[in-house]
Chain A
Amino acid sequence: MTTIPAPAATRHAYRDRLMRLLQQDPRLICLDTDTGLFSPDDISAAGDQYVNLGIAEHNLMGMAAGLAACGRMPFVNTMAAFASARALEAVELDIAYPALPVRIMATHGGLAAGHLGPTHHALADLSAMRTLPTMTVVVPADAAATEAVVEQSLDLPGPLYVRLGRKATPAIDTDEPMIIGRAQLLRRGTDVVLVGCGPYPVAACVEAAQLLSECGVSATVLNMHTLRPLDTETLLAATAQVSLVVTVEEHWRSGGLGGAVCEALCEEQPTRVVRIAMPEKFADIAGGHEYLLDHYGISAARTAAAVCAALDTDAPHTPWTDEKERELS
């Protein structure tokens, strides 16, 4: 039996691995936008492989494109909200169009910014990024997966968007290797397939599967960490024998993981899909990351309740109530 690592922040896992890789690979360059992610010691050790460009996200993406076109591999740093909205045109035209190997390391993904509010939440980033031809889009579910993504990115020819978090999040308990583009099967079941991406949604799927097992529903759990290219093969194989798929993500209901799964299934293997995601509203209350996830129903309790409602079986006893469901809609 393996020991599950302690909770850790994916952005810190990325930072620490990158700092080591900079020493080994002179192609790599870290472009920062005053994020505060890197310590003075990091910056000093990186030498001219670290550049703080100030608060200028368009310039960040454009300069990264220029550097990448000259043979460098830039890791660019900003929050997911800014990478995917403010700087999106530069990402599309200057990075994705010429398919340049820029690694967009986007922190504060989903609701991770918590009480900082909707200006700092990133709830459409996966939608924006996964529609760009040439872009690879990954949401690592924990620190170990993040390190694997950073390592594997060195051999990826095109651009890459990595959604990272902010604070420490739980590690996922799995022996399945983390490989970009290949979904991880975390649990096998027979009645429903739960598909998640990102630390809390994947944990919610695992916990929901346990809740469901207690009331006689057998669930498969997939960690669909890569949204583009979507691992359709694994998705179709896992869902071939079930009548229900439930997606769980920190993203508005449109365009993210749920959208990607619906697109794949409706064309290849029509199956009912229920999407657990941020309701289509801007966060209207303050709260930390976990509080907001619970408030907006991106949780194991709601996932289990949704499965039971769809399968018309008795729901397990959880804090999620019909009244809460009505409040969200």
Chain B
Amino acid sequence: MTATSPTPARLSALRATATRVREHVADMCAGPEGGHLGGSYSATEVLTALYGDVMTVDPARPTAPERDRFVLSKGHAAVGLYAILAESGFLPVEELREYGHPGSRLMGHPVRAVPGVEAATGSLGHGLALGCGFALAARLDGRSSKAFVLMGDGELQEGSVWEAAIGAASLGLENLVAVVDRNSLQLTGPTNGIAAMEPLAERWRSFGWAVREADGHDVGELVRNLGSTPWEPGRPSLLIAHTVKGNGVPFLAGQVASHYVTLTERKHTRVRAVLRDAPVSHNTGKDEVR
């Protein structure tokens, strides 16, 4: 497919959505339980591009058979998913206030009881196989639906990812699109220091995937790439989105400590102020992290 760029007005609207997603995430992480802020902020533009432009989904018909399907395989970024689902109309924005409170359906990892959530994730390494199933079902049914799967880069250490990578390429699932949130950090430190990750793009190519790399915080670049799959006929597509964990807030960006955060009232106020005054438009911290 030919890549198309969003108009300046559309781009501006998507960036505004991304800012609101970060605000919602900050609000949820200021709740009683806190949340996985860092990995949600690294994934914010990917989620925004997918829900705001790329995917065919309808919040009025969240189970419509012809929809595209999204799996947040890095299920710990649940607060990011809840935020974009609320911004997209799948659940009321006011419900986000219930996150972290007893009785809410908004748990620390997403469950299918939440409208728009296709699969309960949280144990890493499950999403790509599910995506393969969604993609194969669409092909068998003659539907044009695509399956989108967002994985963390640390998640790629799970062997099941590579079972699914082999399977997807073997079956030629060109309607499967995977994104790696390459924020280069996991719970206890840099991914590259914990496990050999590189050459990441070559690994996926060698498994039979079409591979691209992009600035994972440039929503326009993400839309151009994710909106133009398949990039090669007969191959599943993998986008390595170069991101910064915690991006958008200088005192959290690129920090391992941003992985799970319970924001104090003071920090919550600071985060909200920063997000308002300096919205993210590109990968601001890529160089420091690498």
Contact = CB atoms under 8 A, between A and B. Distances in A.
Chain A interface SS verdict (over half): helix
Contacts of B141: 70-71
B197 interface: no
Contacts of A29: 140
A61 B130 CA distance: 9
Nearest to A56: B163
B208 to A, nearest CB: 13
A67 B136 contact: yes
A71 B170 CA distance: 23
Interface in B142-199: 147, 159-160, 163-164, 166-167, 170-171
B262 to A, nearest CB: 26
A89 interface: yes
Interface in A49-94: 51, 53-54, 56, 58-59, 61-72, 89-90, 93-94
Given A59-B160, A66-B129, A93 B134 contact: no
B132 interface: yes
A65 B133 contact: yes
B164 A62 contact: yes
Contacts, number: 95
Nearest to B145: A70
Interface residues of B, number: 30
Contacts of A48: 140
Given A48-B140, A59-B163, A59-B164, A66 B130 contact: yes
A5 interface: no
Nearest to A102: B133
A51 B171 CA distance: 9
A93 B136 contact: no
Contacts of B8: none
Contact of A93 (B120, B131, B135, B137): B120
B167 A53 contact: yes
**Majority SS at the chain B contact face:** helix
A282 to B, nearest CB: 25
A98 interface: yes
A98 B118 CA distance: 10
Interface residues of A, number: 26
A58 B134 CA distance: 16
B99 to A, nearest CB: 21
B140 A72 contact: yes
Interface string B113-134: 0000011100101101111111
Contact of A64 (B119, B128, B133, B147): B133
A286 B116 CA distance: 52
Given A48-B140, A98-B119, A98-B120, A70 B133 contact: yes
A97 interface: yes
Nearest to A97: B120
Contacts of B119: 65, 69, 94, 98
Given A58-B163, A62-B160, A89-B123, A94 B130 contact: yes
B166 A94 contact: no
Contacts of A58: 125, 129, 159-160, 163-164
A62 B166 CA distance: 13
Contact of A65 (B123, B128, B130, B140): B130
17 contacts: A29-B140, A59-B163, A62-B132, A62-B164, A63-B129, A63-B130, A63-B132, A65-B129, A66-B134, A67-B133, A67-B134, A69-B133, A70-B133, A70-B134, A70-B137, A70-B141, A71-B137
Interface of A: 29, 48, 51, 53-54, 56, 58-59, 61-72, 89-90, 93-94, 97-98
Q: Which 4 A-B pairs have the closest CB atoms?
A: A66-B133, A62-B129, A70-B137, A56-B163
Given A66-B134, A67-B134, 5 more contacts: A62-B130, A65-B119, A66-B147, A72-B137, A93-B120
